Chain A
Amino acid sequence: MQAGPAARVGYREEVHHPALAQPEVASGTMSMTADGRLVRDQRRPEREISEIGESFVSVRQGPDAPENLLPVPSELKPMLDAIRGVVGGDAEAIAAAFDLELVASAPLWRVRLVPSDSAARGIELVVAGCGARLRGMEVRQPGGVRRVIRFESQP
């Protein structure tokens, strides 16, 4: 994937939870709208279309399903901000919201993101890529939950 706005990318997400014998796997696509909202269209295990803005997120069970509008849950905000910034290629927004640390540079680079907001401490993100191509990200949440997202180019 080329970092930048309006790209549509496929993704595969593994959720590792202490209660699970095997990780739960989800997949779908992500894209940005012209007004800066991230559209997460999850196809598996259940269809869920989320449009994530700065403060609100709308959730539908499918393109024709009714919409629920709700505030972005505070515990998810750092992760969603990071995904919006990374998928949208908005480096300034990422730099404003996170302390960045380059932990590997060649041939694959990895950047560690720590939320600047002390209220969001306990969440840690690592974004990985190769050159200008974004490969994936990992989100570590309190309670031992780990989310590993891999981005794939759409065919």
Chain B
Amino acid sequence: MRRLWPFLGLLAVLAGLVAAVLEVDTDARGLFGADDRLVATLDTAQGRVLTLAILHPDRDLRSALAAKIADELRRDPMVSRVVSTPGASGAPSAELIDWLWRHRLVLAPPAAAAFTAPSMAGELRRARAALTSLTGGTLADRYLLDPTGSFRRVIEAISAASPVASPAASPAASPAASPVASPVASPVAPAQHRGIAQSADGTAALLFIRLAERPFDVAAQGAFDDRLVARVERAGAEALLVGPRSISARISNDIAARSARAAAIAGLLLLLWLAVALRPARNVLLCLVPLGIGLSTAALAVMLVFGSVHVIAIGFGGALMGLAMDYPIHLIAHRGRAENLARARRFVALCAATTGVAFLALLGSGIAVLGQVGVFAASGLAGAAACSAGLIGAGAGTAPGAASRALRPIAVPAKHLALAVISVAAGLVIWLAPGGAPQRLIDLPPGIERSIERLGGLIDLPSGRYRIDVRGSTLDAVLDRQAALLEVLRAAERDGTIRRFELLARHLPPRPPAADRPAAGLPDPGALSAPVAEALEAAGLAPGFRAEVLAAYGAARDLPALDPQALAPLAGLVAVAGLVSPDDGALLAPAQLWGVADPDRLAAAVAALDAEGVVFIDEVAAMSARLDALAANAARCMAAGAAAGFLFLLLAVRRRGAVAEIALACLAAGLLTGAANVLLTGGLGVLDIVALTLVIGIGIDYGLFLTLSESGEPYTSALRSVLVCAASTLIAFATLALSGVGVLEEIGATVCVGVVAMLAVHVLRRPAGETGRR
């Protein structure tokens, strides 16, 4: 045990260093990359929306509480905006009216006929009439300045869309009837009490929160959510908090908590098993110290290369580091004789190097977290192997039931042929699998599903799965594309394909078809001088007013195109409704859908439009496709890494036959595990691939010891240590497989199947005559 103290000291130093410098990164973009839409969604205006329902039977109490919390939230740096009355009536801000006025020719482009003198005279008469209207009078000054009628049509359209306006309010109504009560209506127009939106069933007060524009962080979001819920509960009410970021944070935290529990149980069982298997019990310490040094080395190496360690790298890398536990077990089993121990050290070194080379291939995946997993596992295994070799010196053999008689390998004739047949068959199963249910990285915990369902009952939430994205570089382009889509959606609404929809274009006047617009674009103000003068005279307006009319028209006509920056005043108002928002340098104005009864039919109708920038989105299918791509990428890296590892092994061992046997056995067992996974779950996901990486590492480990150990005592020691290692791995991963956490169940089951398969293919050896060995 004298050797133990320096390593314990080293472990203490490394652990101290880790504690001092470790920075854990929880940004979900690590897995999918910053550009991936799955995670980017969390960084859009819609992704930052959070709905808080405060449930209490006393309407006054819950409304007062909601108002108080809204005030508090407005001062919270995590929050950008709190809306307590979306879509509610309220006088539009002067800023918005100005904005609508300036951009009227984009929001409601005039047809060519709108520039004729009779049409303009008609508009001016309507504007005159608006002067005597109680409400329209506030806008009549601008109606008079816009004889094209664009501004009037914008005001009428958004007034007709207002939830407080009567559904029968017709766009053809007099401008006097344009109240501009709610310039941009929310698709959800809840009832209100004391200025606070109430749920449809009258049981909850609602707050619509937009989170500040900062990257999604699980820890920060989780803390914010907990604070908010606790605030509501302290006041004796119940809180229901639903939003993309909130759900993501809750899922992550839920997985973290249950994983910690599963890991603790697995760790305890493993310790008990090792205490029995590696008698005397102090040998357990000889296993734990290399593991601790390996983990510390791994964390420091990742910190050095990447600047921080992603929480996923810690999780996956930690699981892969389970392999490090095998190294001291092998050495302890072989320490009875110096030459056996020397050989075992060489095998451990080879194993760590080969597996490390394979894992480092994950750096080529282009996915930051997988690269971190590669560095974590490679450096950790190297550290653990070096520590094991230095820590465990010659001594009494300690394998359980120390060898009283030498064991011989079980020989299987034509093993290569059998492995080839297994590989081909398993490969075919994987290749030809029809594919099961769409892939999900995680399943929603039942509690979250219930929250979403309850909130759906309180407010009429749009479909979270289906939507139609409409993109364009300017608002003009977006609205033109939406105009085409509008007809498709109205038809879908009529025939029951969808129950209803929301679209920005629905809140704006109908756009004239291209054929009805001025052929050469909007005419020059000079060209309008004569018809405007004629219209003014016909409508009984002062001739001198012509200059003001032409100046106002010219200013609107010559405005720069509406890009994402210029959209800002409108974006603030409609972002909560999700109607339009800047998105990756363009404008995104999705159609939100309710009650999608026939998604395939709707998708076909949208595709038939053949409109640029208009795409039907099925979030589940899209996410599944992204995960498939991620899994394929990870699988390619794993295959390349395994090939590199075996090439390294070949160069190091220089026994082609043995290395080929190990490689073929690992390939067959790996494919067999993959095929079993495909048959049981319908496909290979990214988690299965990561688990298979560990299985391959385990296979190299077992293969080196069982294939390269000579018959007799060396083989007996190798077999015993491999069996102890396999039992340890099975105990740990079977616990994970039964943990109830989807992610861990998947990894645990895959590794268990893989360990058994690897054990089988390596225990069965080729007859001596075929290998040329003794």
Which A residues have a C-beta under 8 Å from some C-beta of B? 13, 15, 17-22, 24-26, 40, 42, 45-46, 48, 50, 52, 57, 59, 61, 66-71, 73-76, 80, 143, 145
Contact = CB atoms under 8 A, between A and B. Distances in A.
Contacts of B166: 66-68
Nearest to B182: A70
B677 to A, nearest CB: 61
Given A15-B132, A20-B128, 5 more contacts: A19-B541, A46-B129, A59-B176, A66-B166, A76-B138
B159 A76 contact: no
B129 A19 contact: no
A48 B177 contact: yes
B542 interface: yes
A68 B91 contact: no
Contacts of A76: 134-135, 137-138
A73 B135 contact: yes
Contacts of B176: 46, 48, 59, 61
Contact of B134 (A19, A45, A48, A67): A48
Contact of A17 (B89, B131, B165, B169): B131
B542 A20 contact: yes
B129 A71 contact: no
11 contacts: A15-B131, A15-B137, A45-B128, A48-B134, A48-B176, A48-B177, A61-B174, A70-B179, A73-B135, A74-B91, A75-B138
B6 interface: no
Interface in B441-490: none
A146 to B, nearest CB: 11
Contacts of A52: 134
Given A17-B144, A18-B542, A66-B169, A46 B174 contact: yes
Contact of A66 (B162, B168, B540): B168
A70 B89 contact: yes
A27 B355 CA distance: 92
Nearest to A45: B129
A74 B138 CA distance: 10
Nearest to B144: A19
Contacts of B167: 66
A68 B164 CA distance: 7
B521 interface: no
| Best-surrounded residue of A57, A61, A74 (most CB of chain B within 10 A) | A61
A15 to B, nearest CB: 5
A21 B540 contact: yes
**Closest CB pairs A-B (n = 7):** A66-B166, A26-B132, A70-B181, A70-B179, A66-B168, A50-B134, A19-B545
Max count, chain A CB within 10 A of own CB: residue among B134, B138, B166, B179: B134
B146 to A, nearest CB: 12
Contacts of B540: 20-22
Contacts of B90: 71
Nearest to A44: B132
B144 A70 contact: no
B433 interface: no
Nearest to B91: A71
B173 A61 contact: yes
B133 interface: yes
Contacts of A24: 128-129, 131-132
Contacts of A26: 132
Question: Interface residues of B: mostly helix, strand, loop or mixed?
Answer: loop
- For this complex, into which size category does the number of interface residues on chain B fall? 35 or more
Contacts of B58: none
Contacts of A67: 166
Given A67-B166, A71-B91, A143-B141, A40 B134 contact: yes
Contacts of B174: 46, 48, 61
A53 B407 CA distance: 100
Contacts of B541: 19-21
Interface in B168-192: 168-169, 173-174, 176-177, 179-181
A13 B134 CA distance: 12
Given A61-B174, A66-B168, A71 B89 contact: yes
B132 A45 contact: yes
Interface string B71-93: 00000000000000000011100
A74 B169 CA distance: 23
B135 A13 contact: no
A73 B138 CA distance: 8
A62 to B, nearest CB: 10
Contacts of B144: 17, 19
Contacts of A25: 132
A50 B542 contact: no
Nearest to B166: A66
Contacts of B128: 20, 24, 45
A68 B135 CA distance: 11
Nearest to A72: B91
Nearest to A61: B177
B165 A68 contact: yes
A118 to B, nearest CB: 17
Given A68-B159, A70-B179, A59 B135 contact: yes
Contacts of B141: 17, 143, 145
A46 B136 CA distance: 12
A57 B181 contact: no
Contacts of B169: 66, 68
B363 to A, nearest CB: 61
Contacts of B91: 70-71, 73-74
B511 to A, nearest CB: 25
Interface string B757-772: 0000000000000000
